[in-house]
Structure 1
Amino acid sequence: MSIKTKLVFSNIAMCLIPLILCLITLFGLNNLYSRKLKSYYEVEDMKKKPLLNPYIELKSINIRPFKELQSESEAIPDNFEDKKVLKTINEALLKKNTYIIVEKSGNVVFNGSKKNNKDIISKLDDLNYSRNADRPEPPRTESISDDSETLIRQFTFIFSDGSSGNVFLVADTSKLSQLATEFIISIIIAIIAIISLTGGFITFLVSRSILIPLNQLKIGTEKIKHGNLDFKVRAESSDEIGELCDAFDSMRKKLKESVELQAQYENNRKELISNISHDLKTPITSIKGYIEGIRDGVADTPEKMEKYVNTIYNKTQSMNYLIEELLTYSKLDLKKLPFYFIDMDFVSYMNDLMEEFKFDVEKNNMEFSYDNHIKGKANVRIDVQNINRVISNIISNSIKYMDKEHGKISVEVDSNNEEVLVGIKDNGMGISEEALPYVFDRFYREDFSRNTSKGGSGLGLAICKKIIEEHGGSIWAKSQKGHGTEIWFSIKLKNRIN
């Protein structure tokens, strides 16, 4: 999920979740304060309407006891003169913050208040309640508006002796104001808490998915700054930050590869200098010795002089060959050696080339054989001069390191569905199993070759490998010490015509 989508969903969640939680909390608080209201007063039909504001319930307070008292006044009016009965009724009402006042013929016969309520008694006559026993008015509810909060319900009835009676149901509604204040404060606190917690939680989740990978990137840059590339930046998400982490880790890998390659180049450079120094020092020392011999008059006969001059010439030729091989390898390594690829039939090319090499091999008193297993044509794209160099280097090595009296060199050409295969085999001294993996490394030569006059530059097979790789092929060796060597290389077919 992209960061843009996350932000859109987080904004929607920031609106919807608090709204839903606020509604749930509102109804929860409504039920809570409704139960509190019911515990304070005798309230009717609490389940039919929400509390929302406690004052909405004013008309519902004391309806049931009011109706019960009114029914009793009609059935047994004289009970309202019996203080024992009135006391029992009043004690039940006091539990709901309510009490009764009973009048007979305008005089108070019962006052159920446990507190001084002279101010309420004094104002009962001012409320214009009906005292007409013949035509009693319907029960009315009045509120005394003074410092106290009081709700009064009143009804009239007729005693058995014909006297007019009034019953006042008085409720202390100060609790309603307290409940309303608590209710509103609770709602405000709940809304603030819900918005704060929801916003904080959603912000934490969204920011966590951004800040954690950014912190990883920061740590990664610090490690790179100090040269540490052996770590990994893991992408925990598939958004833009995750893509950035992947790109950063890819950059780290490339940078590590570059540093390792640079280190390898530096080691190769040192090794190259060391090998060049070693391979040039031997012929230079020899040349120096022979020149000193000539200068000191050691070559005092024409025969000795000719021998010294020929040796110096051969040594300089070896040095020249080494330098040429080194320049060729360097150009290949730096990819500055030009290649001129042409399309041609590899079968015809090898048939013509083998005629030339047959003469060179037989000139060195060795047996040469050539086997072509390809039927028809095999079209390839090659640089003729460089492939000639590959085959020449391999055959030259076979001739150079031949230790058998009856030397044999054979060339075999074959193909599969994708490439042509060329194998050059000899029955020479072979290569040890330990040395075989390194024969294509530059300047690699087994110890025995360094101790013989036939020791080469150590770059021939390395050059072959570079050339074959430029053709998109591969090269490998098979050998057994004392029984000969096989060098194989492959070149991809352009197409095959049978």
Structure 2
Amino acid sequence: MIKISNPFRKINISTKLFLNYLFLFVIVVFILIFSFAGGMTYIAKHNKGTIDDVDMESLYENIYEHGIDRACKIEGIKDNSYIELLDENLTVLDEYNSVHPKGYVYEQKEFNKIIIPNYYYYQYSEDINEESNSFNVYYSEETDNILLASVPNQEIKFIQKVLKVIFIIFVLVLLIVIIIYAKWTSISLVRPIKSLVKGVNEISKGNYDTRIKIKSKNELGILKDAINNMSKKIEEEIFLREKAEKNRKRLILDISHDLKTPLTNIMGYSETIYYDMELDESIKNRYLNIIMSNSKKANELISDLFELSKIDSDDNKIELKKQDICEFIRILLIDYVFEIEENSMDYEFDIPDYEIMCDISDKYLQRAISNLIVNSIKYSGKESTIKVSIRKANNDAIINIEDNGIGIKSDSIKDIFEPFVRADSSRNSKTGGTGLGLAITRAIIKKHGGDIYLDPYVDKGCKFIITIPIIKT
């Protein structure tokens, strides 16, 4: 299905308002033209049989041939019109339905009001007749006679009626257009604003998962994106804060749990030595060894917690130096070859001969990778194999540390880098670990701008994959 974008959604609000007003202006002009055209059509359809339709020359001839009454019937003069035949002295010689009798003499001033303004068409004169205002005038040079044809004051009324019709058409059409225009404006402006207000109200109530959905690409669309981004960030911040609070509580519980055993042993054996003055020297020394061992465990735990806190701190900046990471790994592995062989393990090292330059810290990166190697040696068992390799991929150096030992349960993979998370019962505080090694490793790798994760698709053992950014030259 092809999605067609609407370019008008991208028009800014000021331009859209201008176009709306321009459109409304054009519509009003169109309505005026439409109303005028309708009125003219109405006039053309109904304005028949008026004085304009009278053939004055034919009427004049018929009057002299048949008489004025007969001539008026022949020419179709209506009963509400009147005809007057005047001589050169403005005396009424004959008339049809006229208010002036035969022999009536027009004053020149009175007659001029009829013919001077518009010699051959239209004149309104209350002085002549209140009911008459339209005249046709015909002058015969042969007889010097003047023929006046008049209709009553219905043309004015007709025109007024037509103007009323035009006005009514204009108002009705304009009202319909305004309603449609208001609806259209509501769709393009008011409705998106209502959606924005509704969304902001929901967000203000604490519903930060609310997302405003409008299709506008103008300022309203930009505002929508800003509000949605703000809501998303607030939601993420709340999630991270809740997660941090949850981790903090779990961390306190884990610290309490891991410190409780050694501290309990230290207190118990110390009290025994202190109060039992008759203890055999060999038993006392054994108790002292237990106290020292548990003291070391507690000290290691506290030291690792301090180091993790220090590395994780945003204020702590690790000093990095440009180095060949291949050479760095070679030197580091030399220190573990003897320990690997002593544990009856095989090893496979695949380190390239060429340089891969990265910004690294000897001290911290050595601690991170050593944690992984020591864990592999400690938990893989005899006759197992440890593999370390480096390769180049895009802009990263990829370090793989793999073994085929007991591995890590799948349900622990997602949390394995969290503090005090141990894969199973074989990896617990009784083995001497604090449960902070992998958390420290991840924190160090993050400080190098890289990442670490556990490959979930390894059938046996475990495979840690580390990425370190390569320096661009």
TM class by shorter-chain length? 0.7 to 0.9
Distance 1:420 1:442, change over 3 A: same
Residues 354 and 370 of structure 1 are in contact (CA less than 8 Å); yes or no, is this contact kept in structure 2? Answer: no
Equivalent residue number for residue 250 of structure 1: 229
Residues 84 and 92 of structure 2 are in contact (CA less than 8 Å); yes or no, is this contact kept in structure 1? Answer: no
Equivalent residue number for residue 39 of structure 1: 48
Task: Pick from 35, 52, 62 the counterpart of residue 25 of structure 1.
Answer: 35
Residues 397 and 470 of structure 2 are in contact (CA less than 8 Å); yes or no, is this contact kept in structure 1? Answer: yes
Q: Which amino acid aligns with 2:78?
A: L
- SS of the residue corresponding to residue 406 of structure 2 reads coil
Equivalent residue number for residue 379 of structure 2: 401
1:47-446 equivalences under 5 Å are 61-64=52-55, 66-73=56-63, 77-80=64-67, 85=70, 88-89=73-74, 92-94=76-78, 97-100=80-83, 111=96, 113=97, 119-121=99-101, 124-126=104-106, 145-153=128-136, 169-172=149-152, 174-186=153-165, 202=181, 205-206=184-185, 208-297=187-276, 300-362=279-341, 365-367=343-345, 369=347, 371-404=349-382, 406=383, 408-416=385-393, 418-446=395-423
Equivalent residue number for residue 46 of structure 1: none
Q: Which amino acid aligns with 1:31?
A: T
Residues 18 and 194 of structure 1 are in contact (CA less than 8 Å); yes or no, is this contact kept in structure 2? Answer: no
Shift of residue 402 of structure 1? 3.9
Q: Which moved more, 1:393-402 or 1:410-419?
A: 410-419
- SS of the residue corresponding to residue 255 of structure 1 reads helix
Equivalent residue number for residue 475 of structure 1: 452
Residues 433 and 481 of structure 1 are in contact (CA less than 8 Å); yes or no, is this contact kept in structure 2? Answer: no
Q: Which amino acid aligns with 1:424?
A: I
Q: Which amino acid aligns with 1:389?
A: R
In structure 2, how many angstroms separate the alpha carbons of the residues matched to 1:340 and 1:463? 17
Shift of residue 201 of structure 1? 5.5
Distance 1:366 1:495, change over 3 A: farther
Q: Which amino acid aligns with 1:390?
A: A
Equivalent residue number for residue 57 of structure 1: none
- SS of the residue corresponding to residue 213 of structure 2 reads coil
In structure 1, how many angstroms separate the alpha carbons of the residues matched to 2:469 and 2:120? 111
In structure 2, how many angstroms separate the alpha carbons of the residues matched to 1:481 and 1:11? 68
Shift of residue 454 of structure 1? 0.3
Distance 1:70 1:345, change over 3 A: same
Q: Give CA-to-partner distance per residue, 1:87-127, whole Å, 9 cap, x none.
A: 7437x3328x53556899x998874x4xxx6x333784436
In structure 2, how many angstroms separate the alpha carbons of the residues matched to 1:222 and 1:27? 52
Distance 1:165 1:19, change over 3 A: closer
Q: Give CA-to-partner distance per residue, 1:400-426, whole Å, 9 cap, x none.
A: 32443x455443334345433333333
Q: Which moved more, 1:317-326 or 1:448-457?
A: 448-457
Equivalent residue number for residue 116 of structure 2: none
In structure 1, how many angstroms separate the alpha carbons of the residues matched to 2:107 and 2:50? 23
Q: Which amino acid aligns with 1:93?
A: I
Return the TM-score normalized by structure 1: 0.76
Shift of residue 488 of structure 1? 2.9
Shift of residue 278 of structure 1? 1.8
Q: Which amino acid aligns with 1:397?
A: N
Structure 2 residue runs without a partner (length 5+): 1-10, 109-118
- SS of the residue corresponding to residue 93 of structure 1 reads coil
State whether structure 2 residue 434 is matched by structure 1 residue 457.
Answer: yes
In structure 2, how many angstroms separate the alpha carbons of the residues matched to 1:8 and 1:125? 67
Q: Give CA-to-partner distance per residue, 1:284-339, whole Å, 9 cap, x none.
A: 22223222332442981111111111111111211121122222223343434331
- SS of the residue corresponding to residue 322 of structure 2 reads strand
In structure 2, how many angstroms separate the alpha carbons of the residues matched to 1:299 and 1:182? 132
Shift of residue 372 of structure 1? 3.4
Distance 1:351 1:63, change over 3 A: same
Q: Which amino acid aligns with 1:419?
A: D
Residues 376 and 405 of structure 2 are in contact (CA less than 8 Å); yes or no, is this contact kept in structure 1? Answer: yes
Distance 1:313 1:223, change over 3 A: same
Distance 1:455 1:215, change over 3 A: farther
In structure 1, how many angstroms separate the alpha carbons of the residues matched to 2:41 and 2:172? 19
Q: CA RMSD in A?
A: 3.8
Equivalent residue number for residue 3 of structure 2: none
Shift of residue 354 of structure 1? 1.6
Distance 1:31 1:486, change over 3 A: closer
Q: Which amino acid aligns with 2:62?
A: E
Distance 1:494 1:62, change over 3 A: closer
In structure 2, how many angstroms separate the alpha carbons of the residues matched to 1:282 and 1:366? 32
In structure 1, how many angstroms separate the alpha carbons of the residues matched to 2:107 and 2:368? 127
State whether structure 2 residue 467 is matched by structure 1 residue 494.
Answer: no
Residues 35 and 167 of structure 2 are in contact (CA less than 8 Å); yes or no, is this contact kept in structure 1? Answer: no
Structure 1 residue runs without a partner (length 5+): 43-60, 129-138, 158-162
Shift of residue 480 of structure 1? 9.3
Residues 21 and 194 of structure 1 are in contact (CA less than 8 Å); yes or no, is this contact kept in structure 2? Answer: yes
In structure 2, how many angstroms separate the alpha carbons of the residues matched to 1:314 and 1:89? 142
- SS of the residue corresponding to residue 343 of structure 1 reads strand
Shift of residue 465 of structure 1? 2.0
Equivalent residue number for residue 134 of structure 1: none
Residues 402 and 429 of structure 1 are in contact (CA less than 8 Å); yes or no, is this contact kept in structure 2? Answer: yes
In structure 2, how many angstroms separate the alpha carbons of the residues matched to 1:185 and 1:235? 45
Shift of residue 207 of structure 1? 6.1
- SS of the residue corresponding to residue 212 of structure 2 reads coil
Q: Which moved more, 1:200-209 or 1:272-281?
A: 200-209
Shift of residue 387 of structure 1? 0.9
Residues 389 and 400 of structure 2 are in contact (CA less than 8 Å); yes or no, is this contact kept in structure 1? Answer: yes
Q: Which has the larger radius of gyration?
A: 1
Distance 1:186 1:78, change over 3 A: closer
Shift of residue 375 of structure 1? 2.2
Distance 1:16 1:487, change over 3 A: closer
In structure 2, how many angstroms separate the alpha carbons of the residues matched to 1:389 and 1:156? 127
In structure 2, how many angstroms separate the alpha carbons of the residues matched to 1:120 and 1:107? 8
Residues 95 and 101 of structure 2 are in contact (CA less than 8 Å); yes or no, is this contact kept in structure 1? Answer: no
In structure 1, how many angstroms separate the alpha carbons of the residues matched to 2:120 and 2:423? 124
In structure 2, how many angstroms separate the alpha carbons of the residues matched to 1:182 and 1:303? 131
In structure 2, how many angstroms separate the alpha carbons of the residues matched to 1:408 and 1:164? 140
Shift of residue 486 of structure 1? 3.0
Return the TM-score normalized by structure 2: 0.80
Q: Which moved more, 1:234-243 or 1:418-427?
A: 418-427
In structure 2, how many angstroms separate the alpha carbons of the residues matched to 1:217 and 1:482? 52
Residues 343 and 382 of structure 1 are in contact (CA less than 8 Å); yes or no, is this contact kept in structure 2? Answer: yes
